[in-house]
Structure 1
Amino acid sequence: MTAGPAVARVAVDSPLPQLDQFFDYAVPERLREGVRAGQRVRMPLRSGGRIAHGWIVELVEMSTYEGRLAELEDLVSEVPVLAPEVWRLARSLADRAAGCASDILRLAIPQRYVRAEKAWLAGDIDAGPLPADPPPVAGYVPGEVEAGIRAGERMTLAAVPRPVVLPGGATVGAWAVTLAEAAAHALAGDRSAILVVPDYRDQEQLEAALADRIPAERIVRTDARQPGAARFTGFLRASGEDARVIVGNRSAVYAPAARLGLIAIWDDGDPLHAEPLAPGVHARDAALMRQEQSGAALVFLGHTRTVEVQRLVEIGWVRPVPRERAVRPHVVVTAQQASATGPAAAARIPPTAWAAAGEAARHGPVLVQVAQPGYAPLLACADCGAAASCVACGGMLHVPARGAEALCRLCGRGGGDWRCAACEGTRLRRATVGSARTAEELGRAFPAVRIVRSDGERPVLAVDDAPQLVVATRGAEPVAAGGYRAVLLLDGERMLVRESLRVAEDCLRWWSNAAALAAADAPVYLVGVGGGLGRALATWRQDRWAAEELAARRELRFPPAIRVATVRAGRQVLDRTLGEAASLGDAVDVLGPVPEEGGEPGLERAILRVEYGTAGRLAAILKAEQIRVATARRRPVAGQPVRKPPTLRVRFDDPDVP
């Protein structure tokens, strides 16, 4: 008699909603000795005799299915890559978002590399010592953060807005030091930590801060910029028995971790934390769910508090940890004065800020934040001022560089034959100025000062402390050695002209993150923005602004005061889906349907607003409708083309819905 379990319950790796369930397979005798839960396997599907991949979630002695079970085809690998806690997390998040667990598992488990797997199996790598008696988390009430980590609390921390020079000489944001110190405390208790940051810029700073406090062997990096083999090796290291500090972008929240003790997210308002792939689970929601399931501590750290975290604070789910003493940049709110002339007017800088920047540039780097990259990001009709669009596709025209012709952003077609649709004019003018044009104007005004440009086309991670003017787009600001001697925040009014529910919150976050790069006592000038946003930045009370914004959204029933589900489908399918959702009565509020703009022809969109307590029932209804649509019989008719299957797309908490 062969030892080992007889039945494997498998989760199929498929985006089809009808396959988002367990399937029982008989384990053939040749595999019973080596089969384990978490392994990736190949197995047959009854439809069409296909071979599919999946993960063994559970091994049992007997199946509840009364018929004859198909057998597993083979093991893809002997290494269990699906940890039980990761499966529970994926299943819960998929149910919450009306999605498929396999879609989340594809984000959580990287592609297999055989050579990397064999090297890991053969290796005996020393994980290094655990940090002994780590220093306290500086900047906060002594002992508060450390006690919260030990107790597995959910906390939100306002980051100290200062650059810090590490012992090795590198300059990083104080937030990176805070996360490194918190991770050291978790690791000192032989518990793992998962640190999630938006992108590689933040990851470089965080790894530099960790290197001074934690042995390199204990740090695991996982992000999309790594080669596939390196990423898979990091995943295997994280799945071991040794406690680690796992650093990465949004998918790192799903990493396997031995004895998880801390989950920390830096700047959870950054849109890079939102997963664009179905089912579109935000890293913040994944972290909250994993904390609840694991009992680990959870930390939200940022210069600004998001409205989502503010809601969690107000309902008592997250505890704010006070700072030891108030630290804030010296922010000056100033209007863009019409009296500015010459280079100052061309660069859109008020005279007072211009004079401060000129003086600061004699002693060190000065940061100038602008709204958009390029030379002239937007062109308009010189006669009537209407925005200039491509005559072929309707995309916006722009000038990518000095001396270049106007081009369409979408199709790349030249705008030489452009004619204004409103007034028939043919002359173009610059409606906005980008980073390249701003750098050019500053170069003329300060011929003896080096000009550095940092944007999506030419990113710069760090600059030295030499006198220089750094022109950067929002989110692309380099870290300056010792901090910037002055910071100018331009184009504030242009950043606010965007149709989005989050535009004000995003602008406050962009400005706060840039202001936090200033050296102590360095001036920060916010140009052209006043009111509540300007006051929140000048007083450094972003939490108060978040509370006011949440109160306004409650009155209007906007997220995150409630949850929203976006449903896209043809009219017939959409009407049936909305009819099923109507079974929840007044608990669901329907907006629409309206034609889908810029999407697939024939699709319409409806937005369903629902309270948090009812959202789970709505998700179950929408998931059932997706299965019904996917499994509906579509018999071919002789002499007629094959009909395209109907579409039904569901997205909870869609960040793109204005």
Structure 2
Amino acid sequence: MTSGRRIARVLIDSPLPQLDRLFDYALPPQLGNVECGVRIKAPLRTAGRVIDGYIVEIDEEHDAARALSEIESVVSPVVVLPDRLYRLARRAADRAAGSASDILRLAIPKRQVRVEKSWHPIEDAPLPDADAHERATEVIAAYDGLDEVLAEHARAAVEAIPVQEGAIAGWALLLAATATTKLAGGHSSILVVPDYRDQEMLVAALNTMLPAEAVVRHDARQTNPDRYRAFLRTLGDAPCVVIGNRSAVYSPVQAGLVAIWDDGDPLLAEPLAPYVHARDAALIRQEQEESTLLLVGHTRSSDAERLVQHGWMRDVTAVRRITPRVLLSTPQELEQTAQRVPSSAFSAARAATAEGPVLVQVARPGFSPTLVCATCRTPARCAHCGGPLGARRRGAVPVCGWCGRAANSWRCAECSSDKVRLASSGTERTADELGRAFPGVRVIVSDGAHPVTQVDTKPALVIATRGAEPIAEEGYRAVILLDGARMLQAPDLRIGESCLRWWANAAALAAPGAPIHLVGVNGPVARALATWSAAGYARSELEDRLPLHMPPTTRVAQIDGLPASVRAALDALAEIGIRGEAVLGPLPHGDDGRVRALVRFGYAAGQTVASTLRAVVVADAAQSRRGRGRVRATLAVHLDILEPEI
């Protein structure tokens, strides 16, 4: 009896959608014992070149007559694609009508030969000591039912307690405590946060409970060697705690816990194809690995609330609820006094600066981000490119925000006036105004251009943009939330959720009992902040969106491409029953003849819609590749868009 030949099923690392499948290759004997998950190089006959890939499966076949190309070489013996990571990437890509290789490109860093040769797997992981485990248990006990969620490997949306210990936020201590508990049981954890500021906060919290050797950072700011070194650490069997941004959710550890902080932050939405949100990837991972999944925040995204309403996630709140003291001032109060800061908020800030720092949140950075005509209020635009004009400091010549040209002789296109006025105040102008009103008090500006992560307990006015608020060592003595009405005017489906999240995160930085003044805002969002009822607001958002078939009550796919390609996609969807009012468009999009359409469909039809659209994308790419002397068509599909736009 003759033995069969060994074959390998290979995933090609290519952006072409028609190559998003496993290819059979023969394994020549000279390669020796090859494992699944290693990097290889193999010939691709259709392209006439050698291409990178990963061995996903190794099998044996007895059909020696079948012509197969041989794998050319094994790049490295290190198994960088464990089976659990491939299954996660494959399923996430299928759900989003995308390619698995695009997701693996986010998960697996480029090979660093020197790092790989000097790497040795860690056999014994450093575990938390008894004091750390006891401290973690105390933090978890402050939340009703959270210990059961961790023990039962369940899913939960957790409302974080808005407190801090020293310079460490309460939410960071909560995530650190859950990871410590899992590590004590021999399980790895993945903690996903939106940006580097949250990472630094989380590292500080983990350092109070775990040895540094147990924490692995997944950071876009790392050098390539450091990132690859961290990746190799996660391939071992020794448990660890992985922290990082959105792509950290694909870490190859065998996770016992995946926790996401502030899942409503748009930074957790992947901007690269196939555009899988970190929350969706975490949900898929939890189902595959039966790990614990926590969505933690001071507020509740409508996506998380939908899962809670359907019984897919548990609702976890504090045993003893702590709510900040929020005070509202209506737009009518500002109109009566013609002031940006009402007298009540001004008095609170005056009294608070005698004791410690005061936080003032504004909408935008700079001195004055935008200018308008002083006569007719028409936005001031650059005569060269049409960009918005702004002033970097008081009395300065207006400068275009797009091309950077100075508008020395600007005149309004509507009324020919040469006078401009400030349309809004940024961080620097607010600091200038409040600095004169509070003589002798330090003024600190924190925004994208002037990042500040922490302030001390001395009196100060901290002027910060949303999301850039530094943490005060013992909390702010008062918090003033300005420009709320301007924030709510943004043409965004989720602007109410976003504002509530921005304001709640700022309010959570206040010291216990400190006043939080929300200026010039009323309505449901203001009431939700004042009563600290974000879950109720998220439920009302879902109720409002349901009759309109808007996300997240309904899934929405965005289809971009040339008219013929988009029409082919819509025809394919019509064959499976997605037609009529479910389709919006197509309408022209851009100046290159492309069009865009939106397609709304239920969650139950998600798999069918995704596979149908994927088949159209593959067919369109293959047809375009065969075409000679024509513009290459690029049909793009984006499922689960956060903000529908035609």
Give the alignment's TM-score, normalised by structure 2: 0.95
In the aligned structure 1, how far is the partner of 2:595 from the partner of 2:62? 43
In the aligned structure 2, how far is the partner of 1:224 from the partner of 1:501? 29
Q: In the alignment, what sits opposite 2:98?
A: 99
In the aligned structure 1, how far is the partner of 2:193 from the partner of 2:62? 43
Q: In the alignment, what sits opposite 2:179?
A: 183
**Residue 126 of structure 1 contacts residue 217 of structure 1 at CA under 8 Å; is this kept in 2?**
no
How far does the alpha carbon of each residue in 1:20-61 deviate from its partner, in whole angstroms, 9 at most, with x for none?
A: 00011111222122x111111111110242111111111111
In the aligned structure 1, how far is the partner of 2:363 from the partner of 2:270? 24
**How far 1:594 moved relative to its partner?**
1.2
Q: In the alignment, what sits opposite 1:650?
A: 637
Q: In the alignment, what sits opposite 1:29?
A: 29
In the aligned structure 2, how far is the partner of 1:624 from the partner of 1:583? 13
Gaps of at least 5 residues in structure 1 are 166-170
**How far 1:645 moved relative to its partner?**
0.8
How far does the alpha carbon of each residue in 1:122-178 deviate from its partner, in whole angstroms, 9 at most, with x for none?
A: x7675323444444253756672122112110011100011212xxxxx11100111
In the aligned structure 2, how far is the partner of 1:71 from the partner of 1:339? 77
More displaced 10-residue stretch of structure 1: 320-329 or 473-482: 320-329
Provide closer, same or farther for how the CA distance between residues 401 and 57 of structure 1 changes in structure 2, counting only shifts above 3 A.
farther
3-state DSSP class of the match of 2:347?
helix
More displaced 10-residue stretch of structure 1: 140-149 or 622-631: 140-149
In the aligned structure 1, how far is the partner of 2:184 from the partner of 2:37? 29
In the aligned structure 1, how far is the partner of 2:144 from the partner of 2:16? 49
In the aligned structure 2, how far is the partner of 1:401 from the partner of 1:111? 45
Q: Does 1:250 align with 2:257?
A: no
Provide closer, same or farther for how the CA distance between residues 457 and 5 of structure 1 changes in structure 2, counting only shifts above 3 A.
farther
3-state DSSP class of the match of 2:547?
helix
1:592-611 paired onto structure 2 within 5 Å: 592-596=585-589, 599=590, 601-611=592-602
Of 323, 330, 333, 1:335 maps to: 330
Q: How many residue pairs are counted as aligned between the two chains? A: 639
Provide closer, same or farther for how the CA distance between residues 656 and 51 of structure 1 changes in structure 2, counting only shifts above 3 A.
farther
Provide closer, same or farther for how the CA distance between residues 401 and 5 of structure 1 changes in structure 2, counting only shifts above 3 A.
farther
Q: In the alignment, what sits opposite 1:583?
A: 575
Q: In the alignment, what sits opposite 2:60?
A: 61
Q: In the alignment, what sits opposite 2:125?
A: 127
**How far 1:113 moved relative to its partner?**
1.1
In the aligned structure 1, how far is the partner of 2:415 from the partner of 2:104? 54
3-state DSSP class of the match of 1:585?
coil
3-state DSSP class of the match of 1:41?
strand
Of 286, 293, 296, 2:281 maps to: 286
**How far 1:66 moved relative to its partner?**
6.1
Q: In the alignment, what sits opposite 2:158?
A: 157
Q: In the alignment, what sits opposite 1:301?
A: 296
In the aligned structure 2, how far is the partner of 1:549 from the partner of 1:74? 55
3-state DSSP class of the match of 1:438?
helix
Q: In the alignment, what sits opposite 1:505?
A: 497
More displaced 10-residue stretch of structure 1: 393-402 or 306-315: 393-402
**How far 1:62 moved relative to its partner?**
2.1
In the aligned structure 2, how far is the partner of 1:305 from the partner of 1:236? 35
Of 220, 225, 241, 2:221 maps to: 225
**Residue 450 of structure 1 contacts residue 467 of structure 1 at CA under 8 Å; is this kept in 2?**
yes
**Residue 8 of structure 1 contacts residue 59 of structure 1 at CA under 8 Å; is this kept in 2?**
yes
Name the aligned partner's letter for residue 655 of structure 1. Answer: L
3-state DSSP class of the match of 1:36?
coil
Name the aligned partner's letter for residue 42 of structure 1. Answer: K
**Residue 340 of structure 1 contacts residue 350 of structure 1 at CA under 8 Å; is this kept in 2?**
no
1:375-414 paired onto structure 2 within 5 Å: 375-414=367-406
Q: Does 1:463 align with 2:455?
A: yes
In the aligned structure 1, how far is the partner of 2:151 from the partner of 2:567? 51
**How far 1:231 moved relative to its partner?**
1.0
Q: In the alignment, what sits opposite 1:268?
A: 263
In the aligned structure 2, how far is the partner of 1:503 from the partner of 1:143? 30
3-state DSSP class of the match of 2:137?
coil
In the aligned structure 1, how far is the partner of 2:44 from the partner of 2:53? 11
Name the aligned partner's letter for residue 156 of structure 1. Answer: A
Of 471, 490, 493, 2:482 maps to: 490
**Residue 307 of structure 1 contacts residue 549 of structure 1 at CA under 8 Å; is this kept in 2?**
yes
**How far 1:361 moved relative to its partner?**
0.7
In the aligned structure 2, how far is the partner of 1:483 from the partner of 1:66? 74
**How far 1:215 moved relative to its partner?**
1.8
Name the aligned partner's letter for residue 27 of structure 1. Answer: L
**Residue 194 of structure 1 contacts residue 262 of structure 1 at CA under 8 Å; is this kept in 2?**
yes
In the aligned structure 1, how far is the partner of 2:4 from the partner of 2:529? 63
**Residue 140 of structure 1 contacts residue 322 of structure 1 at CA under 8 Å; is this kept in 2?**
no
**How far 1:425 moved relative to its partner?**
3.0
How far does the alpha carbon of each residue in 1:606-645 deviate from its partner, in whole angstroms, 9 at most, with x for none?
A: 00000011121111111111111111166777xxxx3211
**Residue 493 of structure 2 contacts residue 643 of structure 2 at CA under 8 Å; is this kept in 1?**
no
Q: Does 1:321 align with 2:284?
A: no
Q: In the alignment, what sits opposite 1:168?
A: none
**How far 1:412 moved relative to its partner?**
2.0
Q: In the alignment, what sits opposite 1:195?
A: 191
3-state DSSP class of the match of 1:47?
coil
1:345-360 paired onto structure 2 within 5 Å: 345=339, 348-360=340-352
3-state DSSP class of the match of 1:25?
strand
**Residue 26 of structure 1 contacts residue 70 of structure 1 at CA under 8 Å; is this kept in 2?**
yes
**How far 1:403 moved relative to its partner?**
4.7
Q: Alignment identity in percent?
A: 49
3-state DSSP class of the match of 1:220?
strand
Q: In the alignment, what sits opposite 2:506?
A: 514
**How far 1:424 moved relative to its partner?**
3.2
Q: In the alignment, what sits opposite 2:107?
A: 108
3-state DSSP class of the match of 1:116?
helix
In the aligned structure 1, how far is the partner of 2:44 from the partner of 2:129? 50
Q: In the alignment, what sits opposite 1:615?
A: 606
**Residue 452 of structure 1 contacts residue 469 of structure 1 at CA under 8 Å; is this kept in 2?**
yes
**How far 1:199 moved relative to its partner?**
0.7
Compute the RMSD of aligned alpha carbons. Answer: 2.1
How far does the alpha carbon of each residue in 1:318-353 deviate from its partner, in whole angstroms, 9 at most, with x for none?
A: 000231112010000113534787xx93xx211110
In the aligned structure 1, how far is the partner of 2:265 from the partner of 2:318? 23
**How far 1:432 moved relative to its partner?**
0.9
3-state DSSP class of the match of 1:86?
helix
3-state DSSP class of the match of 1:308?
helix
Q: Does 1:625 align with 2:621?
A: no
Q: In the alignment, what sits opposite 2:15?
A: 15
Provide closer, same or farther for how the CA distance between residues 511 and 52 of structure 1 changes in structure 2, counting only shifts above 3 A.
same
1:405-424 paired onto structure 2 within 5 Å: 405-424=397-416
3-state DSSP class of the match of 2:506?
helix
Provide closer, same or farther for how the CA distance between residues 46 and 635 of structure 1 changes in structure 2, counting only shifts above 3 A.
closer
Name the aligned partner's letter for residue 587 of structure 2. Answer: V
In the aligned structure 2, how far is the partner of 1:537 from the partner of 1:153? 29
More displaced 10-residue stretch of structure 1: 278-287 or 648-657: 648-657
